[in-house]
Copies of this chain bind each other. A is one copy, B any other.
Amino acid sequence: MARWGAAMTMAMGVLLGAGPALAEARDVGAKAYDSVDPFIGTGGEGHTFPGATVPFGMVQLSPDTRIQPRAQGYDWAAGYRYDDSSIVGFSHTHFSGAGHSDLGDVLLMPVTGPEKLERGDPDTPGSGYTSRFRHDDEIARPGYYAVTLDDYRVRAELTASARVGVHRYTFPADEDARVLLDLRTSMYDYPGKILWSRLRQMPDGTVTGFRETRGWAPGRQLYFAMRFSRPPTGHAFHNTETDIAYKGFAPPADRVPGERAQIEGRQLVGTFDFGKLDAPLVVKVAISSVDEAGAIANLDAEVPDFDFDRVHAAAKAKWIDALSVLDVEAPDAERRSAYTALYHTLLGPTLFMDADGRYRGPDQAVHTAEAFDHYSTFSLWDTYRALHPLLTIVQPEKRNADFVNSLLAHRRHSPYGILPVWSFHGQETWTMIGYHAVPVIADAYLKGIRGFDAEEALDAMVASASYGPYDGLRQYMELGWVPIDEEGEAASKTLEYAYGDWTIARMAQAMHRDEVARDFDARAANWRNAFDAQTGFMRAKNRDGSFRTPFDPTASGYGTDYTEGNAWQYSWYVPHDVAGLVAAHGGADALLGKLDAAFEAEVDPAIFEHMEDITGLIGWYAHGNEPSHHVAYLYAYAGQPWRTQARLKQIMDTQYADRPDGLAGNDDLGQMSAWYLFTALGFYPVAPGSGEYVIGRPFLPRASLRLPNGKRFTIVADGLEQGHGYIGAATLDGKPLERAFLRHEEILAGGELRFTMQAEPSRAWPGTQAQAPYSMTATSAR
C-alpha cells in the first residue's frame, strides 16, 4: 500500500482499535452509513452519481444511463439520471454535482449474445449494447453499487479503492460471457472530444490503455490498467473511425488469446470473451494520469487479488470512519438528508496521484508529490463558500493542508503562474470567475491549519490576483474595477476580486506582511466601484467610470454585467463588508427591504431558461446557484436574525428532500450539501477568512461533531421537535451566547451550543447590544 493507503489504514487502525469511545464512534459511523442514500441528487438538478467511491477517491465507478449530444449533455453531467431505465455501462470517473459534463473514462459493459459495438438508442431496447434495468434491482450504498442488467441477465456489482474500480459480474451460466470496453464514450458526444486513445494487451493478459480528451479540460490524459479474474478466451480490438489517412496495423479481430496486440485511434472498442462461466467474473481497473505503468502499479498496490468482498469491506470501513465525525439525533428523513449531505461533501476534491506520488500537472508534465497527498477537482467558485470551511471542521488538518499544498503545486506548475480557477485531473478549465483558491487558503491559514508553506501560499495568492491577462485583472488593477466595455460580466468580477483581495489582506496581516495587507485592503474596497447608489444594485462600469446603460436588473449571464446571475442576485456580494453594504444602501432598513423584495418577487422561471445553472427560485433568490448562498444570512447581519431563521426554513423546506430529485440545483462538488449541513447545524460561513460563522437556526434536535483535534462540539436544539422554528435563547457551554455568530476557535474548543427554540420569532435574541461580527465592524475604506 502506498502512502495514501497507508494513511487511510492508520486512520482505520485508530478507529477500529479498542476502547469504548472508539466503539461508540464506530457505532455512530455504522448508523450514519446506513442513513446515506446515494440516489439523492441523481434526479432533478443535483447531478450526483450513485456509484462506488471512497472518500476523496480518485476513482468514481458508476453507471451511465445515457450519452447525449453535447446540447443535451448538461442533464447527464454525472452520467446517471434516476428517470432513465437503461444503462450504457459502468465508467470510472465522475463529477459529483458539476454543471459541466466530462470524465466517464473507461466504460465497461458485461454483455451476452451477438456482438454489438454501438450503444444503440436507449429508447429502442436491443438496438445496441445498452441494457434495460429496474430500480427494484438497484442497491446504492457508500462504496457499493449493484444492478441487474435485464437484457443480459447479468448482476453487476461495483466497489472501489482509492485508485481502483472493482466490478463483479455474475453472468447467466447458459450464456457466453463477454465484457465490452468502450473508450469512445464520455458524458456527452462531441466530434473531436477524443483526441487520441490506445488499447493494449500485455503478455501477462493485463489490458492497458490511454485516452486523451478535449472536453472541459483541454488535452487531459487518462491511463488505465485492467485485469480479469480469469483470462479471456479471446479478445478483439476495433477502431470504428473510418476516414483515416494512415490506419496502422491492428492484429485481426480473430480472438486469438495470449498474443500481444495494440490499437490506437480515436474511436476504440475492445471486447473480451470468457465463454460460459460457473462463477462471477471480477474485473479490476486502475487509473493514472501519468502512464500505463503507473496504472499497473496502482492496481498492484491497492487490489493485488480479486477479492471483491475485501475491497467492498475496506470501502465501507472508510465511509464509516469518515461519516462517524457527525452524530445526529433526528427523524429518519433528516438523518438521511444530513448524512447524505455529509457523504456528498466527502467526494471532492479527489485524490490525484499515483501510488508512487506521481501526477500530471497543469503543464502536462509529470510531477511527484513530496510529503503531501495531491488532490485535484477544485470547483472553487462553488466550494470556497461552504464546502472547504466545512472540511476544516469534519476532516483532519492534514487533509485540509494537503488541499492547500495541491493548490500550491498547481500554481508552481501552472503555465500562467497562478492558482487554479476550476481544475480537475490536474488541468485548468477556466470555468467561472475570480481567484477563489485564495479564500480557501486564507480560511485554512487563519483557522490555524499548518503543514504548508505560508510564504509561498501568500505569494501564490498575490500572483493570482495580479495576473494581468486574466479576465480583466489588468484593468481592475489600473482602474479599481473591471470595465464592461473591455471585459464581459464585469460587475461580478469586480465584486469577487474585491472579496478575494480582502482575504489576501487578512492572511498578509496575520503574517505581518504589512505592505501586502495594505495594498489588498485597499483593493478590498473596490466593491464600491460596482455599487450604483441610484438603483441600489451592483452594476458594471465602463472604463470612463460611467455605468453601462441600458440597465436591466433582471438580465443574467452572457453579455450582461453578471456571471450566472442578475442584479437581483449579485447585488449582495460583499461578504467581507456587510456593514459597508448596509451603509451604501443608506441603512439596515433599506437593505432589509431590498432583501424582502428579492425573496418575494414574482419571477417567471422562464427568464432563466438560457441559464441552466440558475434554479431553485424563491423570488429572485436562486438556491440552485452559488451567488445566492449567503443571502438569507444577511438579515442576521442587518439586525434581524429571526428573518434569516424564517428564510432558512423556507429554503430547507423547498430546496432539499430525501428523494432522488431532492437537490434543487447542481450539488457542485459538495457546495449545495455543505450549505445544507451548515444550515442544519445552525451556522454558516458567510465570509470565509473571517473565522466566523453567522448563526442561522438549527434544524437537527441534536448533532455532535467529532473535531479534527479529537474534541466534540455538540449542538442541541431544545423545542425543535415540537416544531419550533425560532431561536429564543442560546448558550455556549452553559453561558448565554448573546451574539448571532460563532468563532471557529469556539467550535474547535469543543463544548455545547444549545438553542432554546420557540414557535414565534424572537427579537430578544441575541439582543440589540449583541456583539457584531467582523463584517459588520470592519467597514472597508473608500
Enumerate chain A interface residues (CB-CB to B < 8 A).
70, 190, 192-193, 195-196, 198, 200, 203, 210, 212, 214-219, 245-246, 248-249, 251-252, 254, 256, 259-262, 264-266, 291-293, 363-366, 415-417, 428-430, 467-470
A417 to B245, CA, bound (A): 25
Q: Is the CB of A196 within 8 A of B193?
A: no
What are 10 A-B residue pairs whose CB atoms fall within 8 Å in the complex?
A: A193-B245, A195-B196, A198-B219, A210-B364, A214-B246, A217-B246, A249-B428, A254-B469, A261-B415, A262-B416
Which residue of B190, B198, B259, B291 is within 8 Å of A467 (Cβ)? B259
Q: Is the CB of A200 within 8 A of B415?
A: yes
Say how far A470's CB is from chain B's closest CB, in angstroms. Answer: 7
A193's nearest neighbour on chain B, judged by CB, is B245
Say how far A592's CB is from chain B's closest CB, in angstroms. Answer: 39
Given known contacts A203-B417, A262-B415, what 4 new A-B pairs fall within 8 Å (CB)? A195-B196, A248-B430, A249-B428, A292-B365
Q: Is the CB of B248 within 8 A of A291?
A: no
Which residue of B190, B249, B264 is within 8 Å of A245 (Cβ)? B190
A215 to B198, CA, bound (A): 16
Say how far A69's CB is from chain B's closest CB, in angstroms. Answer: 11
A663 to B256, CA, bound (A): 45
Q: Is the CB of A468 within 8 A of B256?
A: yes
Residues on the B chain within 8 Å of A467, using CB:
259-260
Say how far A254's CB is from chain B's closest CB, in angstroms. Answer: 8
A192 to B247, CA, bound (A): 13
A193 to B430, CA, bound (A): 26
Residues on the B chain within 8 Å of A198, using CB:
219, 364
Q: Is the CB of A251 within 8 A of B469?
A: yes
Q: Is the CB of A264 within 8 A of B218?
A: yes
A246 to B424, CA, bound (A): 14
Q: Is the CB of B196 within 8 A of A265?
A: no
The secondary structure that dominates the A interface is loop
A430 to B261, CA, bound (A): 14
Asked if A259 meets B291 with Cβ closer than 8 Å, knowing A218-B265, A249-B430, A364-B198, the reply is no
A262 to B428, CA, bound (A): 11
Residues on the B chain within 8 Å of A416, using CB:
251, 260-262
Q: Is the CB of A219 within 8 A of B264?
A: yes
Say how far A452's CB is from chain B's closest CB, in angstroms. Answer: 22
A261 to B249, CA, bound (A): 39
Give the residue among A214, A256, A366, A468 with the most B Cβ atoms within 10 A.
A214
A200 to B259, CA, bound (A): 42
Q: Is the CB of A470 within 8 A of B196?
A: no
Residues on the B chain within 8 Å of A256, using CB:
468-469
Asked if A259 meets B364 with Cβ closer than 8 Å, knowing A193-B245, A219-B198, the reply is no
A362's nearest neighbour on chain B, judged by CB, is B262
Residues on the B chain within 8 Å of A196, using CB:
195-196, 212, 214, 218-219
> 8 shortest A-B CB distances, which residue pairs?
A251-B469, A262-B415, A249-B430, A218-B264, A200-B415, A195-B195, A260-B417, A195-B196
Residues on the B chain within 8 Å of A203, using CB:
417
A365's nearest neighbour on chain B, judged by CB, is B291
Which residue of B261, B365, B468 is within 8 Å of A293 (Cβ)? B365
Say how far A467's CB is from chain B's closest CB, in angstroms. Answer: 7
Residues on the B chain within 8 Å of A251, using CB:
416, 469-470
Residues on the B chain within 8 Å of A70, using CB:
245
Say how far A653's CB is from chain B's closest CB, in angstroms. Answer: 37
Residues on the B chain within 8 Å of A293, using CB:
365
A261's nearest neighbour on chain B, judged by CB, is B469
Residues on the B chain within 8 Å of A245, using CB:
70, 190, 193, 214-215
Say how far A700's CB is from chain B's closest CB, in angstroms. Answer: 40
Give the residue among A203, A292, A430, A469 with the most B Cβ atoms within 10 A.
A469
Asked if A248 meets B429 with Cβ closer than 8 Å, knowing A261-B415, A261-B469, A469-B256, the reply is yes
Residues on the B chain within 8 Å of A470, using CB:
249, 251
Which residue of B248, B417, B429 is within 8 Å of A218 (Cβ)? B248
A259 to B195, CA, bound (A): 29
Residues on the B chain within 8 Å of A428, using CB:
248-249
Which residue of B212, B216, B249 is within 8 Å of A246 (Cβ)? B216
A291 to B363, CA, bound (A): 10
Residues on the B chain within 8 Å of A192, using CB:
192, 266
Residues on the B chain within 8 Å of A249, using CB:
428, 430, 470
Say how far A194's CB is from chain B's closest CB, in angstroms. Answer: 10
A213's nearest neighbour on chain B, judged by CB, is B196
